[in-house]
């Protein structure tokens, strides 16, 4: 295993280029197996999760080639319909293959994805939606087994106790585009990654209306064509670098950040008293010595993203006053709190709320990464902590940030990746 050794206290300066979106890439890669022909995807980030998805596709029988952020997928050889535990357990996002497999091949066997450190991750909405489209689903020895003779369009209410579900929406859209007749999805997720998936499918020949709103209408088509497509930039990576600029009190330019996708973050930074300079596809961080505490509630898009909650918490550890973060998407997603406190933060938890009392500075210590975004939060904290911060188990970061330490080091951070001696 590897760890990061971060020398805190360095200012950042220069430009960071944002990679393609991980969460848009995964469902689009999955959807490409529905094409009659080869698909070429550009701007695919070179990440562990993408490699896991490619491995699953290869296991199913698809041919793939991944070079220089371009992924070619030829699904014509697919002969297997099982996603085994070894893959699904390392990447819960692989569930987005369920809809495409059922739509195109009418059968799928999927290991149940289980929980993870950010809390329970049910799939009831995926199953409910697929059943409505005429798919029989059973649970056999830890596997969800789905089959159908014919998919039929239907009206589906896809809201759950925590609002909409991104990947359930992706699965149902994929299944519905090849179903007979019309499907209406009410309470669909509005995330930009869903819009990107819909744009991709429409280019393949699908008929989708209303993506980006809670009401999506789909007219089923008989077939989809293989196409060439470019993935949108990653809004969570963008937000992480924006926060890296502000927390280190530095001026950096984040190139390729689609600001339309980041307004909830920009709004909170402005509320904290910071100036944010931005255009359509870039952000420049304007440094300031102090910022005010703010209250944040994570919500589905366009609300404040749960995937930026941990990084925002690092930023608020040194704000003036007491901040409050309420986590409404994954109420248990607070595993980073203990680690931030080891670095000198003053955070207490009360159920799904975190109360963050601003301190003057953080101090380097040994901490452990626990999930993807929590790891990014620890890196942000390490950038400002006095002295040395050691972060172990950084393999979590490699799941979702392309060249993370390289991009940060290029603009002045001092992060070393070293082997952990056990
Ligand atoms: C996606 C993102 C993840 C992000 C999350 C929320 C990918 C690969 N992952 O995950 O990074 O944190 O959206 O923005 O795109 N829920 C149910 N029943 C279900 C499905 C979900 O109750 O069948 C609940 C979840 O437990 C959670 C909430 O709905 O409380 C939102 O989860 P969901 O949008 O489904 O997350 P993912 O799509 O898995």
What are 361-406's pLDDT values in tens digits? 999 999 999 889 999 999 999 999 999 999 999 999 999 999 999 9
How far apart are the C-alpha atoms of 44 and 336, rounded to whole Å? 28
**Closest ligand 1 atom to 189 CA:** 34
131-145: average pLDDT: 92
Res. 327: pLDDT tops 60: yes
CA distance 179 to 149: 11
> For residue 335, what are its two tokens?
């595993």
For residue 118, pLDDT beyond 70:
no
Structure confidence at residue 86 (pLDDT): 86
Distance 416 CA to ligand 1 centre (A): 33
Write the residue with the smallest CA distance to atom 24 of ligand 1.
Answer: 162
Q: Supply the pLDDT for residue 212.
A: 98
Angle between helices 98-105 and 124-132 (to 10 degrees): 20
pTM for this structure? 0.97
143 pLDDT exceeds 70?
Answer: yes
Q: What pLDDT does residue 258 have?
A: 98
State whether the beta carbon of 301 lies less than 6 angstroms from ligand 1: no
Whether 61 has a pLDDT exceeding 60, the answer reads yes
Distance 151 CA to ligand 1 centre (A): 24
- Structure tokens of 11? 């200012």
Give yes or no for residue 74 having a pLDDT over 70. Answer: yes
Confidence of residue 122 (pLDDT cuts 50, 70, 90): confident
Residue 120 has pLDDT above 70, yes or no: no
Quote the pLDDT of residue 6. Answer: 98
Of 161 and 360, the one with more pLDDT: 360
132: left (phi over 0), alpha (psi -120 to 50) or beta: alpha
Q: Is pLDDT of 114 > 80?
A: no
Report the separation in Å between the CA atom of 328 and the middle of ligand 1, taken as the mean of its atom positions: 11
| Residue 294 DSSP label | -
Report the interhelical angle of 309-316 vs 235-247 (nearest 10°): 10
What are the residues facing 31 on neighbouring strands?
A: none
Q: What is the pLDDT of residue 422?
A: 66
Distance of CA 314 to the CA centre of its chain: 19
Query: Which residue, by CA, sits nearest to atom 1 of ligand 1?
Result: 166
> Cα 408–18–405 angle (5° rounding)?
20
Rounded distance between C-alpha atoms, residue 8 and residue 391, angstroms? 13
Q: Are the CB atoms for 21 and 234 separated by under 8 Å?
A: yes
Kindly give, in sequence order, each residue whose CB lies less than 8 Å from that of residue 359, ignoring residues fewer than 6 positions away.
317, 318, 344, 345, 346
More confident residue, 309 or 85: 309
Q: What is the rounded CA–CA span in Å between residue 304 and residue 297?
A: 7
Measured from the CA of 305, which atom of ligand 1 is nearest?
14
* pLDDT value of residue 350: 96
> Residue 85's pLDDT band (boundaries 50, 70, 90)?
confident
Q: Per-residue confidence at 89, pLDDT binned at 50, 70, 90?
A: confident
Q: Looking at ligand 1, which atom is closest to the CA of residue 121?
A: 26
Is 168's C-beta closer than 6 angstroms to any atom of ligand 1? yes
**Helices 166-177, 98-105: inter-axial angle, 10-degree rounding:** 10
Is the pLDDT at 109 greater than 60, yes or no?
A: yes
Residue to mutate (ligand 1; options 96, 117, 119, 160; most atoms within 8 A of CB): 160
Say yes or no: CB of residue 121 within 6 Å of ligand 1: yes
What is the set of domains in the chain, with CATH numbers?
2-19+233-419 (3.65.10.10), 22-230 (3.65.10.10)
Ligand 1 and 167: CB distance under 6 A: yes
134 lines ligand 1 (CB under 6 A): no
**Sequential DSSP letters for 335-402:** THHHHHHHTT-EEEEETTEEEEE--S--B--EEE--SHHHHHHHHHHHHHSBSEEEEE-THHHHTT-T
pLDDT classification of 112: cutoffs 50, 70, 90: confident
If you average pLDDT over every residue of the chain, what do you get? 95
pLDDT of residue 278: 98
Give, as one character, the DSSP assignment of residue 181.
S
List, in sequence order, every beta strand (DSSP E) within 256-332.
276-279, 282-285, 295-298, 322-327
Confidence of residue 111 (pLDDT cuts 50, 70, 90): confident
Cα gap 120→349, rounded to integer Å:
18
pLDDT at 387: 97
Catalytic positions are 116
Q: What does the buried/exposed string (b/e) look like for 364-397 if buried means 16 or more CB atoms within 10 Å of the residue's CB? A: bbebbbbbbbbbbbbbbbbbbbeebbbbbbbebb
pLDDT of residue 117: 65
């Amino acid at each position: 295993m590897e760890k990061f050794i971060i020398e805190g206290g360095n200012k950042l300066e220069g430009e960071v280029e944002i990679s393609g979106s991980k969460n848009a890439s995964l469902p689009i890669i999955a959807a490409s197996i529905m094409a009659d022909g080869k698909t070429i995807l550009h701007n695919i980030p070179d990440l562990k999760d993408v490699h896991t998805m490619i491995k699953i596709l290869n296991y199913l029988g698809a041919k793939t080639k991944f070079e220089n952020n371009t992924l070619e997928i030829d699904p014509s050889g697919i002969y297997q319909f099982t996603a085994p535990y070894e893959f699904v357990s390392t990447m819960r996002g692989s569930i987005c293959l369920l809809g495409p497999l059922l739509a195109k091949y009418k059968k799928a066997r999927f290991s149940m994805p289980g929980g993870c450190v950010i809390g329970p991750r049910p799939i009831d909405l995926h199953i409910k939606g697929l059943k409505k489209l005429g798919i029989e689903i059973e649970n056999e020895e830890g596997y969800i087994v789905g089959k159908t003779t014919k998919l039929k369009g239907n009206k589906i209410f896809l809201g759950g106790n925590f609002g909409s579900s991104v990947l359930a929406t992706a699965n149902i859209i994929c299944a519905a585009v090849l179903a007979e007749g019309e499907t209406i999805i009410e309470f669909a997720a509005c995330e930009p990654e869903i819009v990107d998936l819909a744009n991709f499918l429409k280019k393949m020949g699908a008929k989708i209306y209303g993506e980006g709103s809670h009401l999506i209408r789909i007219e089923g088509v008989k077939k989809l064509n293989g196409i060439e497509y470019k993935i949108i930039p990653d809004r969570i990576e963008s937000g992480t670098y924006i926060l890296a600029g502000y927390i280190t009190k530095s001026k950096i330019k984040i190139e390729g950040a689609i600001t339309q996708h980041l307004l909830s973050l920009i709004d909170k930074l402005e509320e904290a008293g910071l100036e944010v300079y931005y255009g359509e596809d870039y952000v420049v961080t304007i440094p300031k010595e102090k910022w005010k505490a703010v209250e944040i509630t994570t919500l589905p898009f366009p609300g404040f993203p749960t995937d930026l909650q941990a990084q925002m918490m690092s930023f608020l550890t040194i704000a003036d006053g007491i901040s409050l973060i309420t986590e409404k998407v994954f109420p248990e997603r607070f595993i980073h709190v203990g680690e931030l406190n080891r670095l000198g933060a003053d955070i207490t938890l009360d159920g799904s709320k975190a109360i963050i009392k601003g301190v003057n500075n953080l101090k380097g210590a040994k901490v452990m990464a626990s999930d993807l975004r929590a790891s990014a939060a620890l890196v942000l904290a390490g950038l400002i902590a006095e002295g040395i911060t050691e972060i172990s188990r950084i393999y979590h970061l490699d799941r979702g940030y392309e060249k993370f330490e390289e991009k940060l080091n290029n603009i002045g951070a001092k992060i070393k990746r070293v082997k952990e001696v056990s």
